[in-house]
Amino acid sequence: MQPYFNKVTQAGYDKIAAEIEAVKKERPGRIKALSEARALGDLSENAEYSAAKRDLRHLESRLRYLEKQLRYAQVYEPADNAVIEIGKRVTLQFQDDQSEETFELVGNPEADIDHNKISLSSPIGKALIDHTTGDTVTISSPNGSYQVKILSVEKI
């Protein structure tokens, strides 16, 4: 059975790698805090020890998660054309109210709706993939269906 790799942009890959380095730098401080709390005495009623142990456990868990994300990430380089794929910026016109919105299509690990970065597995991402400028696409979401017109597609 072949492992499944998540397609990500180079920027997304670099962001995960940078977070791993930041977490690794934070680790010695957490270990030191745990050993200092342990030195305070009775572990059964030592709140500082319990908190330090929990904090280190959360940090280790986050590190394992990020390393797994990076291990199964495949950097995807988009083609320099107007076909929608990962690594493209897409401007859409919503047909119901004629409003316009610009999104970046990115891999699952780097999706961030607050920064208009949507993944392939989102309803919009699934509907837009392989379409091009000028196409009108119907998007099926949990709240119903709506149509968008693709105004522009450019490489990020």
**Distance of alpha carbon 82 from alpha carbon 132, whole angstroms:** 6
| pLDDT tens-digit readout, 10-25 | 999 999 999 999 999 9
6-75: CATH architecture: Orthogonal Bundle (1.10)
Outline which parts of the chain fall under CATH 3.10.50.30: 88-155
| pLDDT tens-digit readout, 106-138 | 998 899 999 999 998 899 999 999 999 999 999
Outline which parts of the chain fall under CATH 1.10.287.180: 6-75
**Is the separation of the CB atoms in 33 and 55 below 8 Å?**
yes
Domain 88-155, CATH: 3.10.50.30
| Closest among 132, 125, 138 to 84, alpha carbons compared | 132
Residue 99: pLDDT over 80:
yes
Ramachandran category for residue 128: left, alpha or beta (phi over 0 → left; psi -120 to 50 → alpha):
alpha
Cβ-based neighbours of 124, under 8 Å, separated by 6 or more: 103, 118, 139, 141, 148
Q: What confidence category does residue 105 fall into, taking pLDDT thresholds of 50, 70 and 90?
A: very high
